[in-house]
Amino acid sequence: MIQWTGIVVVGVGIGLALIVGTLYSTGSADLAVHDQQPITFSHQRHAGQLGVACQFCHRFASVSPIAGVPPVSICMTCHQSMPTQQPDLKRLTLYWNEQRPIPWIRLQRLPDHVYFTHEMHLFAGVTCQDCHGIVEKMMGTPRASTFEMGWCLTCHQQQHASTDCWTCHK
């Protein structure tokens, strides 16, 4: 009796580990996890409190497949004439003075066999928040809830966009 319980408990443990493992590998796990970036950049501060438009920094979103992450020069349009005592701002100034790009860590990425483009979605009126969540309230790097096929298909069905396989698999 006791032995059986042990086996069941171990089994459940492995099952959970597998589920969590799969979620992590697709980048969809745990929105609360704090992702470590070279500089702690707050979307809440910049996009929320200060009201800077998403596309002021992510400049390519409406004209190309990728949204793009801003170069240091965009940060410096404001920070050049601001105090730099705060440790993260010290680091920012150092990158700028040494003319080095900030090695931001990319958190979410679709597999190579999937074709995705920002441009078409924005043109069709889909918003950043529809896919990435309420980024202007997030402290760390935003993570979409999921980039799984079912998520793409559900919205494509609702909005009468194409669900042909080769729309997304070229």
Of 44, 38, 65, nearest to 133 by C-alpha is: 44
Q: Answer yes or no whether residue 157 interacts with ligand HEC by CB under 6 A.
A: no
Nearest distance from residue 103's CB to ligand HEC, in Å?
10
Q: Cβ of residue 1: shortest distance to ligand HEC, in angstroms? A: 40
Task: Pick between residue 16 and residue 148 the one whose CB is nearest to ligand HEC.
Answer: 148
Q: How far is the CB of 117 from ligand HEC (least distance, A)?
A: 6
Residue nearer to ligand HEC on the CB measure, 10 or 115 = 115
Give the largest CA-CA distance in the chain.
72
Pairwise CA distance, residues 16 & 24, whole Å: 12
User: Which parts of 61-100 interact with ligand HEC (CB under 6 A)?
Assistant: 61, 66-70, 74-75, 77-79, 86, 88-89, 92
Q: Residue 139 interacts with ligand HEC (CB under 6 A)?
A: no
* Residue of 22, 145, 157, 159 that binds ligand HEC (CB under 6 A): 159
CA–CA distances in Å: residue 59 to residues 9, 66, 124, 170 = 51, 9, 18, 26
Main-chain phi, psi angles of 50, to 5 degrees: -85, -15
Q: Does 107 bind ligand HEC (CB under 6 A)?
A: yes
Distances from the Cα of 101 to the Cαs of 47, 67, 91, in angstroms?
21, 17, 12
Q: Which of positions 40-59 make contact with ligand HEC (CB under 6 A)? A: 40-43, 45-47, 50, 52, 54-58
Asked if 86 and 39 touch (Cβ cutoff 8 Å), the reply is no
Q: Which of residues 6-35 bind ligand HEC (CB under 6 A)?
A: none
Angle at 36 (CA atoms; ends 32, 37), nearest 5 degrees: 125
114 binds ligand HEC (CB under 6 A): yes
Of positions 28, 37, 84, 93, contacts ligand HEC by CB under 6 A: 37
